[in-house]
Amino acid sequence: MSKTIIIVGASRGIGKELLTTFAQNENFDVHILTRNISELASFSAFKNVNLSVFDLNSIHVKEDAEKLFSSLKKIDILINNAGKLVNKPFLELSHQDILDCYQTNVIGVMETIQAALPKMLEIGGHIVNISSVGGFQGSVKFAGLSAYSTSKAAVVSLTEMLAEEFKETKLKINCLCLGAVQTEMLEEAFPGYQAPLSAKEMAEFIADFSLHADRFMNGKIIPVSLSTP
């Protein structure tokens, strides 16, 4: 049976590579929620790919997501990949910087999940939250990422909370805390930094994890990093 897969945040970086990976398989019904769908024009040729404009940085994320999900019978996989990174010294962070990180990385993710859950609880489904090693307790920390990394730590906690709250249902939810990956986000935040993995390599890992890991784990927080914490 075909799988319905939602990817939030896919106009570039890891999300775009996830889309590329899933789009190749016609058994996957792929729904992309992202702001800049114009970046994905080449995917309009794929009959199994559906592109929708969606902004996590909005006060009506839940309503927008509910509308987009309303025609779907089920959601097998939801990958919360979108992320907002601000790299600024703590004392220079504006209220807006903090709000943008938390709205996109935490509140938007929570409300997207609220909209998706009715399509996942009974039939079963796998939510994969994409966090960062910066949000993983005990990892090496980078100065300047206090708004971003604390918001990613909230995604870790959210994963554990929802696994507990919905443990009697068929939902599975796990969280991947990524180390450095060569993407536009990394290049903008740390110009010149060379990550050990490409977006394509990481996307292939995440795609495989999202398809299979729910048979083996629930509520797990996994650092996906070549360095030790």
Query: What are the residues binding ligand NAP (CB under 6 A)?
Result: 9-15, 34-36, 54-57, 81-84, 104, 130, 132, 178, 180-181, 183-186, 195, 199
DSSP 182: B
What is the nearest approach in angstroms of ligand NAP to the Cβ of residue 72? 18
The DSSP secondary structure of 104-155, one letter per residue, reads IIIIHHHHHHHHHGGGTTTT-EEEEEEEEGGGSTTS---TT-HHHHHHHHHH
- Shortest distance (Å) from residue 97 CB to ligand NAP: 14
Minimal distance in Å, beta carbon 17 to ligand NAP? 8
Question: Taking a C-beta distance cutoff of 8 angstroms, is the pair 222, 177 a contact?
Answer: yes
Report the nearest approach of ligand NAP to the CB of residue 71 (Å): 20
Structure token digits, residue 74: 């089920």
Q: Which is nearer to ligand NAP, 1 or 226 (CB)?
A: 226
Nearest residue to ligand NAP on Cβ basis: 13
Residue whose CB is less far from ligand NAP, 11 or 218: 11
Choose between 54 and 209: whose C-beta lies nearer to ligand NAP: 54
**Neighbouring-strand partners of residue 211:** none
How far, in Å, CA of 189 to CA of 187, rounded? 6
Q: DSSP state, 214?
A: G
Nearer to ligand NAP, 184 or 208 (CB): 184
